[in-house]
Amino acid sequence: MTAVAHRWTGQGVAPGAAVAGSWRADRPVPALTVHIGPDEVEAAFAAVAADLDRVAEQVRAQGRTAAADIVAVGALIAADPDLVDSAKQAAGTAQPLPAVRDAVEGYATVLDSLDDEALRQRAADVRQVGRRVVERLAYGGVGRDAPAERFVLVAAELGPADLIEHLGAGLVGAVAVRGGANSHAAIVARSVGLPLVMGVDAEVLDLPDATDLLVDADAGAVVAEPSAAEVASTEAASAREVERRDRLAAERGLPHVTADDQPFGLYANVSSDVEVRLALDSGAIGSGLVRTELQFLEADRWPTEADHRRALAPLLAEASGRPVTVRLLDFANDKIPPFLSPPAGLPVLLAHPEAVIAQVRAILDLGRDVGLRIMVPMVSDPSEMAPVRAAVEASAANLGTPVPPVGAMVETVSAVRQIDALCQVADFVSIGSNDLTSEVLDLDRVDPRARTELAAHPRVLSLIGKVVDAAVAAGLPPLTVCGDAGSHPTTLPLLVGAGVRSVSVAVARIDETRWRLRRLDTEQCRALFTDALRLGGAGDVAELVEERIEVVMP
Amino acid sequence: MPPSSEDDVAERVVVLPKPLHARPAGQLAQLAGRHKEATIQLVAGEKKANARGVLAVMAMGAVTGTEVTVTVTGPGAEAVADEAADILTAAEAADA
């Protein structure tokens, strides 16, 4: 057969590459004229509930508790007597399948209309249950099971459960027409190492199932009927990646100590409840950075207390019992909503005390069950801490909650210059390595991906060392570096050398970061750091790190 | 079972410490499933729901601080009402 490759481009939202037969998750069901009775509808719901229960238990047995809970909600929905009753009534009409779908949609719409973000998200679960029930009815009560062998999932839109239920089975990659890097499906895919490309032309939906499909998320490409050479190289790379991830994940639960027995802290940067779940599953202690502004980047006004509550409630509930550092709104740089104009940042937030109080109240009230800390972003002067602390103390008194530590995120050169004074008015400090690096090296116009490695520049390193020393001298708790430098092979040994013993990294980097930290020797890193400060640029430092530090990765 | 128990009624009023999300709603549905002879009715303001249905309970959209009245009718009403109230007030860490 003549292989005519069809190529589409999209956004690679979870790295990696895979090739396998395609399987469309949401293929439209054929129009049917056959009679469907209430008993068949009831049986279909029961079968879907049993399916989801089974998947939840399988996932739970693999130790992925959080993922199991997500799927188990679907089983409860499929067993809902009200939902089943209205679907049974719908089955008696002339067009039973659309009628059943409409009945289910009615319930989804009700949830969609609620104020509570976590409840609104359940609407997608209801629709997923409805889709499965309708498929079962359409295909004669057997359901459309995913292929037993390896496959690439294709869908117009993917929910996290769509991916979770096939993990550990044959799923090796996924393609979606809609969605982006911040979708829950993308977060799940990154955390489990599943290559995922989104934003692909809808043509891909028309591929017959079992079409050879290559997903290259690193290149943002999807290829139907790829050449034998492409298949071979992708398969080899994908097999290596799976093995690598398994070996990294095998160290979950091992002691968080370096090669010379120095304890370290491993936290995750998060902005949603799903990320918290995945982070805890990966063995993170808690969150060193909760980003609160991401849900409000399209806002047309300052978020109210109710807005903050809706955004934070699911996340903080999921983090119950864990240490969590919540950062106040960081509307700066590339994260400025339409109602503000650049440079925005902390000064604009502080100029709106009611906006600070709205957020602080929501954090304090919802954060009663976590080891809460509140962090001020982009601090450039010690005087900026007092108004926030006053707002926290007043709100805590008002709500009857304890007053949590209030700390500063050190990510401006100005903050480093005044670090001793800042440490006197902050209960803790964290370092934002990305912004600090770009300010020191004037990288505003440089590709953001280059910033992580440039944190190894001696000018950046010396500032980081200064902050660590000041925090120790002031008797503050061990500081955390929140940023990509904490998970980078070049910069991590240097941070350890500077005295950093705690990092907060992207959820997908937790396993890898733990692996590296457990193999670093703090004395060796210290010597490396001292020598690196004498070098001329980031490139020289990277060479030195490569020469001195050997961490064998799986 | 004693005939009088069919008419047992018990009521509890609780203030939610956390929103009534999927996990507590699911626990209530499971409780209702274990006590099929009893009816567990929830009322929050103008919203009402039979606890047997996880969707109806979630559709109440009950947020933190909402006062919820639980009314259980049927055998073992007191014990079932206590258990329902426990689920609603122990909703501290509950979310899904």
Judged by CB atoms closer than 8 Å, whether chains meet at B61 and A107 is answered as: no
Chain B CB within 8 Å of residue A313 CB: yes
- Give the pLDDT score at A67: 67
For A383, which DSSP code?
Answer: G
CA-to-CA separations, A521 to A34, A264, A525, B31, in angstroms, rounded: 70, 12, 6, 53
Give the CATH number of domain A1-25+148-250.
3.50.30.10
Q: What is the radius of gyration, based on Cα positions, of chain A?
A: 25
- Nearest Cα residue in chain B from A115: B61
Domain A262-506 falls under CATH 3.20.20.60: yes
Beta-sheet pairing, A6-9 with A221-224: antiparallel
Alpha helices in A152-293 (DSSP H): 160-164, 184-192, 228-249, 273-281
Phi and psi angles of residue A115, each rounded to the nearest 5 degrees, phi first: -75, -30
In B, minimum Cα distance to A112 occurs at B59
Tell me which chain A residue has its CA closest to the CA of residue B61.
A114
Chain A nearest C-alpha distance from B8 (Å): 24
The C-alpha atoms of residue A437 and residue A454 are separated, in whole angstroms, by: 7
Residues of chain A neighbouring B58 (CB-CB closer than 8 A)? 111, 114, 119, 122
Q: Biggest alpha carbon distance in chain A? A: 81
Tell me the percentage of chain A whose pLDDT exceeds 90. Answer: 58
**Which residues in chain B are closer than 8 Å to A80, comparing Cβ atoms?**
29, 53-56
Mean pLDDT to the nearest integer, B41-60: 94
The reply to whether residue B95 touches residue A314, judged by beta carbons under 8 angstroms, is yes
Domains of chain A: which residue ranges? Answer: 1-25+148-250, 28-143, 262-506
Classify residue A534 by burial, with Cβ atoms within 10 Å: 0-12, 13-18, 19+. exposed
Verify whether the Cβ–Cβ distance A313 to B61 is below 8 Å: no
Q: How far apart are CA B37 and CA B73, in angstroms?
A: 9
Q: What is the pLDDT of residues A426-453, one digit of tens each?
A: 999 999 988 898 888 887 644 555 567 8
Sheet holding B67-73, edge to edge: B9-15, B67-73, B39-44, B47-50
Chain-chain contact of B59 with A107 (C-beta, under 8 angstroms): yes
The predicted structure's pLDDT at residue A343: 85
Average pLDDT over residues A533-551: 93
Interface probe, candidates B15, B20, B21, chain A, greatest A C-beta count within 10 A:
B21
How far, CA to CA in Å, does A382 sit from each of A374, A422, B77?
16, 5, 60
In order, the DSSP letters of A25-38 are: TTPPPPP--S---H
Identity of the amino acid at A6: H
Give per-residue pLDDT as tens, A56-113.
Answer: 887 777 766 666 777 788 888 999 999 999 999 988 787 888 888 899 999 999 998 8
Distance CA A433, CA A113 (A): 40
- The amino acid at residue A466 is K
Nearest to B55 among A70, A80, A115 (CB): A80
Question: Does the distance separating the beta carbons of B19 and A119 come in below 8 Å?
Answer: yes
The Cα A55–Cα A49 span in angstroms is 10
Find out whether A70 and A44 touch, Cβ atoms under 8 Å: no
Residues 28-57 of B with CB under 8 A from A: 29, 50, 52-56
Residue of A107, A313, A318 lying closest to B19 (CB–CB):
A313
- Give the model confidence (pLDDT) of A105-142 as tens digits: 999 999 988 888 778 878 878 888 888 888 888 876 55
Total of domains in chain B: 1
pLDDT > 80? residue A380: yes
CATH code, domain with B26: 3.30.1340.10
B25 touches chain A (CB under 8 A): yes
Predicted complex ipTM: 0.84
- Residue A450: the pLDDT is 57
User: H helices within A33-167, ranges in order?
Assistant: 38-61, 65-78, 81-90, 96-112, 117-138, 160-164
Q: Are A320 and B26 an interchain contact pair (Cβ–Cβ within 8 Å)? A: no
- pTM of the entire predicted model: 0.69
Q: Which domain holds residue B54?
A: 3-93
Q: How far is A321 from chain B (nearest CA, A)?
A: 9
Q: Which two tokens stand for residue A319?
A: 């983090």
Instruction: List the single best residue of B15, B16, B30, B54 to mutate versus A (max A Cβ within 10 A).
Output: B54
The architecture CATH gives domain A28-143: Orthogonal Bundle (1.10)
CA A199 remoteness from chain centre: 19
Mean pLDDT computed over every residue of chain A: 89
Query: Which residue on chain B is closest to A85 by alpha carbon?
Result: B53
Cβ-contact A137, A36 below 8 angstroms: yes
DSSP state, residue B53: -
Give the Å distances, CA to CA, from A548 to A121, A148, A518, A521, B90: 49, 47, 16, 11, 53
pLDDT at A397 over 80: yes
